Structure 1
Amino acid sequence: MPITSVNTDNDDLTLTIVADFAASKERLWEAYADPRLVEQFWGPETYPAKFFRHDMYPGGHSRYEMTGPEGDKSRGYWEFLAVDAPNSFEVLDGFSGDDGEPNRDLPSMRMVFAFDETADGSRLTMTTHFNSLEELEELVSMGMIDGTKSAMSQIDAVLADLARFAADIPAQLQLLSDTRVRISRVIRGSVSDVWRAHHDADLLAKWQLGPDGWEMTEVTPPAGPGSAFRYRWAPLTDTEGEAFSIGGEVQESHPESRIVHTERMEGFPGETLNEVTLTPVPEGTLLSYVITYASAEERDMILATGMVDGMEASYARLERILA
């Protein structure tokens, strides 16, 4: 059990939990920065969590859902107020409605996570600030301390398994729901370089080619919100296949952190919503690509084309270019 102390201060309206780990501060930070990892321990053991969004930058948001043993759902959100990697981050933690969006009518708590080095590894100090004594007492009576202990007891196993999420691992696919998937890849390169590689026409034409044997013949990269992008690929002379194009519109753009856009293949029905988040991690940049499809059937049909393998070929090519 990593928790070493729990302190409730009724005067300051705070709950402070301290936990120690036999891992470096940077690795402990990475466990909270990577949605694939934080979802393995944020919920208690009987209420595992799934993060549908995790934007670890000031102004960013997370959306998560915990599922109980009877299939009951508890949804929440984080709103990042401050991020000082790998030393601390601060969030508003609150409840979400059935649609996954924050329910501002319910109370939220301010939480501060501080990471420090120790002689044996690292220490996490998690301080929760409540709005009133009644709120503090109510949430403690509801089992908040026991739930947090159960959740944090899982972190050691996550830290021991970080090699499964390292930079030499190919792009990973995770089914988040019937219509949503997450594709994740750590890219050896800075966030600035990876962001530029997704917005610079010359760079895009060099790496975003999928399997070998294709070339990008048209490149109109995304810009700010409201802008349109369009790419067209064609097979080289000795490669089978027909030329095709995709396009879409940018809905959100937070430079070097997050971009949200629609995407459709020209000449085919259907449109996806793509959310791309870049997060600095010790080995480079974690790229998290969440795609929402119109239906499970559309999701399965597109994934069956080998899309993830094509993305991995492109990301591996990008790493060689950045190197």
Structure 2
Amino acid sequence: MPVTEVNTDPEALTMTLIADFAAPVERVWHAFTDPRQLELFWGPPGWPATFTAFDLTVGGRALYNMTSPRGEKSGGSWEFLAIDAPRRLEVLDAFASDDGEPLEGMPVMRVTYAFDESEAGTRLTNVTYFATAEALEQAVSFGAAEGSKMAINQLDRVLEGLRAYAQGKGTQTEVLDDTHVSITRLIDGPRELVWRAHHDPELMRRWLLGPDGWQMTVCEVDPTVGGRYRYAWAPDEGTEGAAFGFDGETLLIDEPRRAVTTEHMTGTDYPSTLNDLNLREEDGATLITLLIEYPDKETRDMVLATGMTEGMETSYARLEGILANA
């Protein structure tokens, strides 16, 4: 992970983040000053950002909002105080309302970004300055330190490019914390087809099967907010295992980029998970990122121990073969 330190200093009223990237300074600078690049990593997993304004001039402003898996919005604004391309950026950072105005009662922070050459490529030193100890405490209580770390740790895949980052690695599972797991898989095919493969029952029955020897017996999908879905699988004759299924509700749809659903094992009293599916296309390939939120660590560990990653890889490999012949 690129982030090596996140420290708060109550006496200096600062929070400092340090990260190292295997990319030249100019490339990292571009990622921080191009809104379309920023949208790929700004905001922690589950809270992707959309920049609605970006005037990269001294005195200019940038406006963005982040959307949670349940549809809540959190807005922010930057006022550019200093720009020394490609070495240094200084902004006034504020929580913002829908119209871009700073929210009353919320801290406004001066933030500096320094991009220096390093042995690895580039070292980012990000320092946030707070006006009062109360403002620093408020930001920490909101999870600013952990959120910043998780956001910046997503930058590697942006700097490398999707194929270099994920091709040939299969399905990768990363434990983010006690209740969150991120699963990634690169599919060689356009995003629109990958989206359709996740929402068209006819296509889903062909690939969403897990290990060989199983069939999808139920595939009912209502891909609208508030709509319900139901899936079920059963083993072929001679294959060990018992039939099972999942059901849930669609909470958010942003076709063909993002879909958020709940997932509950049918016929059980197990708690539901929250599944946040994101699709990003680059150079004809699509990176599937599935962020799963579990109710607790015990449920997370129980599910991971079932061989979930291996089963998903079998399905994704089957999907890639289907799309290659589409």
TM-score bucket of the superposed structures, by smaller chain: 0.5 to 0.7
Q: Which residue of 1 aligns with 2:265?
A: 265
1:216 Cα offset (Å): 0.4
Per-residue CA deviation, residues 83-104 of structure 1 (Å, 9 max, x unaligned), is 9xxxxxx9635899xxxx7665
* 1:51 partner letter: P
Per-residue CA deviation, residues 90-144 of structure 1 (Å, 9 max, x unaligned), is 9635899xxxx7665xx62178xxxxxxxxxxx9899887699xx9xx95xx550
* 2:276 partner letter: E
1:244 Cα offset (Å): 0.6
1:282 Cα offset (Å): 2.5
Whole-angstrom CA distance in 2 between matches of 1:302 and 1:313: 17
* 2:251 partner letter: Q
Whole-angstrom CA distance in 2 between matches of 1:126 and 1:310: 46
Q: Which residue of 2 aligns with 1:51?
A: 44
Change in CA separation of 1:297 and 1:280 when aligned onto 2, cut-off 3 Å:
same
Change in CA separation of 1:282 and 1:91 when aligned onto 2, cut-off 3 Å:
farther
Q: SS state of the match for residue 44, structure 2? A: strand
Whole-angstrom CA distance in 1 between matches of 2:308 and 2:288: 16
Matched, 1:151 2:98: no
Q: Which residue of 2 aligns with 1:20?
A: 26
Contact 1:21 1:156 in 2 (8 A): no
Matched, 1:310 2:286: no
Change in CA separation of 1:245 and 1:125 when aligned onto 2, cut-off 3 Å:
farther
Whole-angstrom CA distance in 2 between matches of 1:189 and 1:95: 27
Quote the sequence identity (%). 36
Contact 2:114 2:125 in 1 (8 A): no
1:210 Cα offset (Å): 0.4
Q: Which moved more, 1:310-319 or 1:149-158?
A: 149-158
Per-residue CA deviation, residues 125-177 of structure 1 (Å, 9 max, x unaligned), is 99887699xx9xx95xx550337984289989985697762322111111111
Q: Which residue of 1 aligns with 2:236?
A: 236
Contact 1:95 1:108 in 2 (8 A): no
Matched, 1:79 2:33: no
Q: TM-score, normalised by structure 1?
A: 0.61
Contact 2:233 2:244 in 1 (8 A): yes
Whole-angstrom CA distance in 2 between matches of 1:163 and 1:80: 25
Q: SS state of the match for residue 271, structure 2? A: coil
Structure 1's unaligned 5+ residue stretches are 1-17, 43-49, 54-60, 63-77, 84-89, 112-122
Contact 1:33 1:281 in 2 (8 A): no
1:188 Cα offset (Å): 0.8
1:303 Cα offset (Å): 0.8
Q: Which residue of 1 aligns with 2:292?
A: 291
Whole-angstrom CA distance in 2 between matches of 1:110 and 1:242: 58
Whole-angstrom CA distance in 2 between matches of 1:29 and 1:319: 31
Whole-angstrom CA distance in 1 between matches of 2:255 and 2:66: 28
Q: Which residue of 2 aligns with 1:108?
A: 77
Whole-angstrom CA distance in 2 between matches of 1:146 and 1:203: 48
Whole-angstrom CA distance in 2 between matches of 1:94 and 1:29: 12
Change in CA separation of 1:264 and 1:226 when aligned onto 2, cut-off 3 Å:
same
Contact 2:87 2:115 in 1 (8 A): no
Q: How does 1:172-321 map to 2 (within 5 A)?
A: 172-268=172-268, 269-321=270-322
Q: SS state of the match for residue 124, structure 2? A: helix
1:79 Cα offset (Å): 3.1
Q: SS state of the match for residue 279, structure 2? A: strand
Q: SS state of the match for residue 215, structure 2? A: strand
Aligned pair count? 239
* 1:305 partner letter: T
Contact 2:53 2:63 in 1 (8 A): no
Q: SS state of the match for residue 144, structure 1? A: strand
Change in CA separation of 1:190 and 1:125 when aligned onto 2, cut-off 3 Å:
farther
Structure 2's unaligned 5+ residue stretches are 1-23, 55-60, 95-101, 103-107, 117-121, 127-151
Whole-angstrom CA distance in 1 between matches of 2:39 and 2:111: 26
* 2:170 partner letter: P
Change in CA separation of 1:157 and 1:215 when aligned onto 2, cut-off 3 Å:
closer
Change in CA separation of 1:110 and 1:248 when aligned onto 2, cut-off 3 Å:
farther
1:80 Cα offset (Å): 3.0
Q: TM-score, normalised by structure 2?
A: 0.61
Q: SS state of the match for residue 50, structure 2? A: strand
